[in-house]
Structure 1
Amino acid sequence: MTTFKATVKKPRSDGFYTVYIRITHQRKSSYIKTNKIVDAAHITKGGDLTDPVVNEYCAMLIRQYTDRLNRVNATCWEIKEVIEFLLKDDEEACFSDYARKFIDRMEADGHERNAKNYRLAVNHLERFMGTTRLLFSNLSSSAINLWIESLSKTNRAKEMYPTCVRQIFKKAIVELNDEERGVIRIKFNPWLKVAIPKSDNTMKRAISAEACREFFNRPLPKTKMLSPLPELGRDVALLSLCIGGINTVDLYELKKKDYNNGIIGYKRAKTRHSRRDEAYMEMRIEPFIQETFNKYLSKDEDDEYLFVFHSRYSNSDSFNANVNIGIRKICADMGMKKEDYYCYYTFRHTWATIAQNDCDANLYEVAFGMNHSHGFNVTRGYLKLDFTPAWELNAKIIDFIFFSNKKSKQGKARDLEAPEEKLFRISKKMMIYGRAYFKGDVVGELTDIGFSNVDEVISELVKQLPKDIPIGCTVQFRLKNCDSQREVVYERSKGKGF
């Protein structure tokens, strides 16, 4: 049982006494200081207070403390836990304040790039709500759904921003609420009634080998700048294309200790915190790219970074922005439409596409060369990897683009994420070639027009089937639209499908 009593300790230097609430719990005592004081005349020899105003205030405070403790089971608590519970501020929690602390912790833990996305999400939400001091109670499900609706025209933010805010909210519920002690500062979870939309599929930015040759072998636009952005854009794009599609942030962060005997070793910034192997990668610098590579090497002995980019740009985002401006200036000079301009990622996507389409690499080899985990995250953490297959593939890509005039197969390849046409559409004017197979043998065949749908073609082929096919056996019907050259296969069981 916990007991309370208003009391005083030693007098202050001015002769007055500060009033405390003494708490006794599990035969141990502690004190909570109040903002009241009394003089010696209002203290009895037994230590009781006689000031009616102070006694009334202390009685009210004791009633509040008693009421709060009656709502929880504090039997097993230590006295310091009781004090913490009674002094816990039960006022409404501020989402904005908590979010900033959450993001600061994320940055301190080394997740700077993720922290940037979280900060963008919170800033956008605050702008939408019209305040930089959002309370958790302001974030009702209807308010959040309206915010998500405002993001509907974005490609990626409509999924990323709400996901970031939801993560902050979930963590806050764990940290700020304590159901065991009856501390509920966040009264509800609105995300149970919120559906976060999926982001749009990544736009396929890859270009053909012919387009690469055109981009890298044309004169640069004239400029009065000492360090022309088109030159920077072209050179850094070339570095990306010839170093396994390396990202700008990884180029920017490379240090002198990462470059040894013509090989760079780095941990990919985007995924190093989420992979067991810390996304470590080694790539050989091919002779073709060596001159461009050397062009940007830092000559300052006191500079720990490999390239001069740190001395010119304040951070990796600024560096990336200037590279993209330079690339767009070249595209404009080439007379391209604005919507068709390249960006830095164009050349990373191109590396992957040419590797698969033109250099006979399989998807695992492409993923390995681009430093994707490819589902082997744990396995990569165990192995001492040999990176030479990635070097050899990189050299093949360079040879194909810059030391041949072969045409890329890219135009014939379908994007892996592109949905296939679900329906095999035909009309009476289309020529249809159909065959029926049973146990691998052709048992029916036709070439004709005048069919309105697939069932009509199959019905015509069924007329040619042998009568001795048992009930329940499956027949394959292979149909080809001779006009579109599209082919499909249907299966039907005797007794059900025909």
Structure 2
Amino acid sequence: MATVSWVVFKHHKKSDNTYNPKIRISHNRTSSYISTSIYTELVRFKKNSASGTITSEKIKEELDGLVREYRQIINEHQDVVNECETSKDIVAMIERRKQRKEIDFIEFARMFIEKTPNEGTKTVKTTGINSLCHFLNHKKGNEKLLIKDLTSRFLREYEAWLRQERYITVRQNKTAKQAYKTIKKPALNDTGVHSYMGIIQSVFNAALLHFNDYEKGDIIITNDPFKVYTIPAVLEAKKRAVDVDIIRKIYKYSPVNKRKRTTMFTRDIYILSFLLAGMNAVDMLNCRMVNGRIEYERQKTKDRRKDNAFISVYVHPLALPIIDKYRDPSEQHLFDFYKRYSNVRNLTKGIHRGLRSLCDELGIDYIQFYTARHSFATIARNECNISKDDISLCLNHSSGKTVTDTYIKQDFSRIDKVINKVVEYVFERDEESKSE
């Protein structure tokens, strides 16, 4: 049976002659203490006594109130208390319940995202939580969201806000004259809302696992808005592959303005991505060249796969001039991208800016960097009749491994044949047709 009382110890005297009363929790012949915010000189000790009594009735009432609060928590959660072996376990249970009143969802989200090892996932989740903060600022002028206030009604209000044109204020870089600027965001469709709500749900589920002890039945977060609120179904993804003629135009691009280095840089790594079987820009930051092949672990999936999503990609001769152009002189990395951009996010922004400029100069609709990957796969399958298994190997997709697969050593040379066929179809046949 757990008991609660307050106590003041003589040896807890501070340098300013005050004492800090504690709340004592006793259970199964063990005792633990919870500090209070009270510091007082109004304490009397009997001779040879290690503990004393408070002489102020007001302070006594405050301490008695804390004792009643903790007793109530214990009485209301006897099923959890029965699972506690020591007083320390009960103190932890009390602290969790006190904490519930002030669990800030945004604060937890920032902490959770910071511990996310995958940089791409971290960026996506940060963008989602930033959007939620913009809504909170719009709604009530601050970014605080107690987890108990994260309700289905709140989510429906947030969804309605996302589905309309809206203005948000963002911080500018350090070189800008003004610290903040206001930008207009377009209304989101079902796919966009699905993405943003999915981020909130994933962080909320992480909070449930962090604060709730399901084995002991110690449930701190009792609300779950996603049992009432339904995330909109995602629209069928639009195919992001582009025509062969677009790939050829980008390959032949020569900048009108020689000072547009970002545009030329974007052209180079777009074509490099295509030539390396759809390699992502983030993977170019940490790849290496080994025996004439590019080797890397795909950042997006390496934490979810036993092989760390390792791949070894053949380097076609057309890719070598681009690789040499951006080699890191210090040899810390294969490419010098880390000197051009401070982090992955800035690299991604630079690529987007470069693609807009590139598409404008070429007179084509805006395309995303990811189309290089989709286009490689589409051309390999539809034009070169490559098997889906070999395309999956090139894209470094995880295959649903069977027992037989565990006996077979991975043969990355299959990638060489695919790249050669695709490059021949896109670039070499184009030259042949011209000569004819």
Fold equivalence (TM over 0.5)? yes
**Residues 1:10 and 2:10 aligned together:** yes
Q: What's the counterpart of residue 221 of structure 1? A: 255
- The gaps in structure 1 that reach 5 residues or longer are 409-498
Question: How many Å separate the matches in 2 of 1:172 and 1:265?
Answer: 37
Task: Give 3-state SS (helix, strand or coil) of 1:259's partner.
Answer: strand
Q: What's the counterpart of residue 418 of structure 2? A: 393
Question: How many Å separate the matches in 1 of 2:65 and 2:318?
Answer: 83
Task: Give 3-state SS (helix, strand or coil) of 2:304's partner.
Answer: coil
Question: How many Å separate the matches in 2 of 1:238 and 1:19?
Answer: 70
2:247 aligned residue (212, 217, 241):
212
Question: How many Å separate the matches in 2 of 1:347 and 1:15?
Answer: 72
Task: Give 3-state SS (helix, strand or coil) of 1:253's partner.
Answer: coil
Contact 1:42 1:51 in 2 (8 A): no
Matches within 5 A, 1:53-64: 53=57, 54-64=59-69
Q: What's the counterpart of residue 403 of structure 1? A: 428
Considering only aligned residues, what root-mean-square deviation do their CA atoms show, in Å?
Answer: 3.2
Q: What's the counterpart of residue 148 of structure 1? A: 159
- 1:363 positional shift: 1.8
Question: How many Å separate the matches in 2 of 1:132 and 1:379?
Answer: 53
User: TM-score, normalized by length of structure 1?
Assistant: 0.70
Q: What's the counterpart of residue 289 of structure 1? A: 319
Q: What's the counterpart of residue 68 of structure 1? A: 73
- 1:180 positional shift: 8.2
Question: How many Å separate the matches in 2 of 1:81 and 1:161?
Answer: 37
Question: Kindly tell me: are residues 27 and 217 of structure 1, through their superposed partners in 2, closer, same or farther at Cα, counting changes over 3 Å?
Answer: closer
Q: What's the counterpart of residue 232 of structure 2? A: 197
**Residues 1:318 and 2:346 aligned together:** yes
**Residues 1:99 and 2:132 aligned together:** no
AA aligned opposite 2:107: D
Task: Give 3-state SS (helix, strand or coil) of 2:127's partner.
Answer: helix
Question: How many Å separate the matches in 2 of 1:323 and 1:48?
Answer: 69
Write the deviation string for residues 353-406 of structure 1: whole angstroms up to 9, x where unpaired. 211122111222222222122433997777531111111110011111111149
Q: What's the counterpart of residue 182 of structure 2? A: none
- The gaps in structure 2 that reach 5 residues or longer are 164-187
**Residues 1:77 and 2:81 aligned together:** no
Question: How many Å separate the matches in 2 of 1:85 and 1:375?
Answer: 42
AA aligned opposite 2:55: D
Write the deviation string for residues 310-364 of structure 1: whole angstroms up to 9, x where unpaired. 111222333343334334434323333xxx2333223222211211122111222
Task: Give 3-state SS (helix, strand or coil) of 1:359's partner.
Answer: coil
Residues paired across the two proteins, number: 395
Matches within 5 A, 1:2-401: 2-10=2-10, 12=13, 18-34=20-36, 35=38, 37=40, 43=46, 49=53, 51=55, 53=57, 54-73=59-78, 74-75=81-82, 76-88=84-96, 89-90=98-99, 91-106=101-116, 110-130=117-137, 131-152=142-163, 153-154=188-189, 156-177=191-212, 185-218=220-253, 220-225=254-259, 228-254=261-287, 258-300=288-330, 303-336=331-364, 340-376=365-401, 383-401=408-426
Question: Kindly tell me: are residues 159 and 406 of structure 1, through their superposed partners in 2, closer, same or farther at Cα, counting changes over 3 Å?
Answer: farther
Single out whichever of 374-383 and 89-98 deviates more from structure 2.
374-383
Question: How many Å separate the matches in 1 of 2:262 and 2:30?
Answer: 72
Question: How many Å separate the matches in 1 of 2:246 and 2:4?
Answer: 82
Contact 2:240 2:371 in 1 (8 A): yes
Question: How many Å separate the matches in 2 of 1:380 and 1:361?
Answer: 20
Question: How many Å separate the matches in 1 of 2:350 and 2:19?
Answer: 67
Contact 1:267 1:281 in 2 (8 A): yes
Task: Give 3-state SS (helix, strand or coil) of 1:398's partner.
Answer: helix
Task: Give 3-state SS (helix, strand or coil) of 1:77's partner.
Answer: coil
Write the deviation string for residues 139-179 of structure 1: whole angstroms up to 9, x where unpaired. 21022023224444347432221111112112222332457
Q: What's the counterpart of residue 454 of structure 1? A: none
Q: Percentage identity across aligned positions?
A: 29
Contact 2:155 2:229 in 1 (8 A): yes
Contact 2:208 2:221 in 1 (8 A): yes
> Highest relative contact order (Cα 8 Å, sep 6+), 1 or 2?
2
Single out whichever of 146-155 and 121-130 deviates more from structure 2.
146-155
Bigger Rg, which one: 1
AA aligned opposite 2:264: E
Question: Kindly tell me: are residues 113 and 323 of structure 1, through their superposed partners in 2, closer, same or farther at Cα, counting changes over 3 Å?
Answer: closer
Contact 2:129 2:200 in 1 (8 A): yes
Question: Kindly tell me: are residues 388 and 5 of structure 1, through their superposed partners in 2, closer, same or farther at Cα, counting changes over 3 Å?
Answer: closer
AA aligned opposite 1:201: E
Task: Give 3-state SS (helix, strand or coil) of 2:295's partner.
Answer: strand
Question: How many Å separate the matches in 1 of 2:104 and 2:258?
Answer: 51
User: TM-score, normalized by length of structure 2?
Assistant: 0.79
Greater share of helix residues, 1 or 2? 2
Question: How many Å separate the matches in 2 of 1:262 and 1:304?
Answer: 17
Question: Kindly tell me: are residues 44 and 197 of structure 1, through their superposed partners in 2, closer, same or farther at Cα, counting changes over 3 Å?
Answer: same
Contact 1:16 1:38 in 2 (8 A): yes
Question: Kindly tell me: are residues 98 and 359 of structure 1, through their superposed partners in 2, closer, same or farther at Cα, counting changes over 3 Å?
Answer: same
Question: Kindly tell me: are residues 15 and 168 of structure 1, through their superposed partners in 2, closer, same or farther at Cα, counting changes over 3 Å?
Answer: closer
Contact 1:244 1:351 in 2 (8 A): yes
Task: Give 3-state SS (helix, strand or coil) of 1:307's partner.
Answer: coil
Write the deviation string for residues 220-266 of structure 1: whole angstroms up to 9, x where unpaired. 232141x6233223222221221111111112332xxx212211111
Single out whichever of 59-68 and 285-294 deviates more from structure 2.
59-68
Question: How many Å separate the matches in 1 of 2:333 and 2:355?
Answer: 24
Contact 2:17 2:41 in 1 (8 A): no
Contact 1:210 1:407 in 2 (8 A): no
